[in-house]
Each structure stands twice: as structure tokens, then as C-alpha cells.
Structure 1
Amino acid sequence: MVVDRIEVYLDGGESPIAVLKEPPYRLKLDTRTLPDGEHVLRVQTHYRGGGMEIREIPFTVNNYPDVLVLGLDEKSEVSGEVELRLAVGEPDLPVERVGVSAWAYVAALVVVLGGIWSYFALSPATEKIIAEVAPPPAQEAQAHGGGQGAVPAGVDPALMEKGKAVYEANCAACHQANGQGLPGAFPPLAGNPNLQDVGHVISVTKNGLQGPITVNGQTYNGVMPGFPQLSDEEVKAVATYIRNSWGNAFGPVE
């Protein structure tokens, strides 16, 4: 499924604190602006064509757990009247916080950001993270037009260009721009012998695929959504493109 936007809410608020529309999907959450205690981050993923997924991530803010005593250092020698200041929860106070190391704050931030990352990495919204992964230069050169040579004989170059546009809009987030897919998650299209069957390619494009499939000795067991919204011409174009890119040369789609 293709992501339309991601809305991030905090503590049951009606308005999102962030709306992410383009990858990489990132935000910074400054916990110093939040009161200590329990909080909930809600991530709503909206998909193109309808559908929404919600995940809530509870977390605890504990920036200032100790009272800061100002005016009296540990083991200091004093005499007479000493004026002390007791401070709690003052973010701009230019003093070292007592009892809490800087690593504790880093760990708290890692917990929050790690929760957001695990949502995208382990849920059906995996593509939001995959979209951030740039292919190595060696693989990038394998993309269509990257030194592969001329379009195979009998294949319409204009149809290839149209298919490339359809692929980039609907397929590249999972199968990658270079057709390499993602090991263990999304099968490669480059060098995929299953693409030789035109009927199989068209059926999977229109109706999707569920269940195990083996490509070059590796088994993938996921769910690929269909794209019934594509016209017959668009299906033909994208099928032509994937069958004749990245070193593939299976010929035209009749």
C-alpha cells in the first residue's frame, strides 16, 4: 500500500503535532517541553485510496527527577549565613543536574525514537522506512538506463518510459528503484525468472499476491496489494518495464 501521509499526535490532542507527507519520515520530539510523567504518542498512517492504520506508543518523561540545590557544593566549607536555592524542573538553568547523567537523557530519547522506528519497521507501513534506504552505487548502476544498453528488440521505448513512471509511483517503495527488492521482505524483480510468464505478471499487478513465493532460491511470504485502479494500458506499461529493465529481457507484453 502506498502512503499518503502520516499524522503524529501527542496525548490525545485533536490537532497533530506533525504531518509527514514525503520520505524520509522524521520528526524531533523535545521532551523538555513536556511535563514529567506518562505520555502517549499516536501515529496515524493514511493510505492512498482509503484505509488508515493507528498505533499508540506510551512513554514516560523524566527530565528532572531530583531537586537541585544551588549555593552549596558537596563537601564545601562554609561559614555564616548561606543562601540556598532549591530548583526543580527549570530547563534553562545553567547548572549540572544532580543524580541524572547525560546518558539517561540520550537513553530516553532513544526509547521514544526507537518506538517510532519499530512501528514503521515491523508493521505493514514498512515502506516508509524502506523509502529512506538508498541503494549502493553498484546497484544504482543496474537501474534501467544505467549501462544496460538499448531497449530489447520489439519493445516500445515510449511504453517503457510510461511503465517507468507507473513503477516509480506504485512499486519502487517496496521493490526499490533498482529492482533489487529487500532481502527477506520484498522479492527482487531484477533477474526474477517468474517475470517470463506474462499472465503471472499482469495478474499479480492487478490482483496482488498472498502467500509464499520463491525467487532464485529464496522464499518470501508476504502480502502484495493489487492495483485495480490502474488502466489496462498502465498495467501493460509497467509489466513491460519490469520485464525489460535491470538486465531483464523478456520482451514485449502482447
Structure 2
Amino acid sequence: MEDKRSIRIFLDDDPIPFAEFAPPVKFVFDSTKIPDGKHELKIVAVSSNGKEGVKHIPFEVRNGPSISVIGLNPNEVINEQIPITVNAYGSERSDLFIVTGSENPKGIPAWIWALVLSFVGFALFYLIMYFNPDFYKSFI
């Protein structure tokens, strides 16, 4: 009896598979040959009795530098001038590592400000309530 099992792998809407294997298969998928953006991997498996099964796996390729934008969110409605910070990070290996520009500048979160104000408020309360010159008499 002939083994009809096969696995065909398609990328996006291409009618020709870029790979065909006999199951089970383990392969390395090189995304560096694919342009950045949203894509879909379509896997068609044929069983030994000729029945097909299909699985669609959507994914996104980002081979270029990662882009970070602070100050404007997707689909945000704006009506004034706003400051926008754009930063890009590449994953290329280089011998020179520059520390500046390797992190996104972000504001201090509100909960940290609340914690600092609470601490300062408690310190002032303690100082006002318990500051008494009698506690600080010299032993000499």
C-alpha cells in the first residue's frame, strides 16, 4: 500500500507551496526572506486515506528595526499640538554598543509620585507632632 501522507506549506495566498514534506517534519522557517508585515502560513496535511486538513496561522514579520512611538496611540483622536518621540532599535550585532538611545524615555508613573508625596507627608506629620526640644537635651 502506498503512503499518501504529505504536508504542504503555503505562504499567504500563493497557490504554489514553498515546501512539501512527508510527516513528521521539523524544519527551520527563515523569516528574513519575507517582507515586514502581516502574513499567514497555511498548512495542508493529507492523511493516508486521502483526506485533507487545513490550518491557518497568522503571524507578523518584523525583520527591520523595532519602532517605538511615544505620544500618539493608534486610532487616537487629537485636536492640538502634541510632542511625539520616535525611537528605532535594530537587532543587528555590532561591536560598538551605545548606551544613549537604547531605552525609551518615559515619564514617572503617577503611583510613584503618590508614594513619594505620602512619604513626605508622613515625615512632615511626624516632625510636627513629635518635635519637642525636651527630647534633645544634652547629657553633658
TM-score, normalised to structure 2's length?
Answer: 0.44
Q: Which of the two has greater strand per residue?
A: 2
Q: Which has the higher helix share?
A: 1
Tell me which structure has the larger Cα radius of gyration: 2
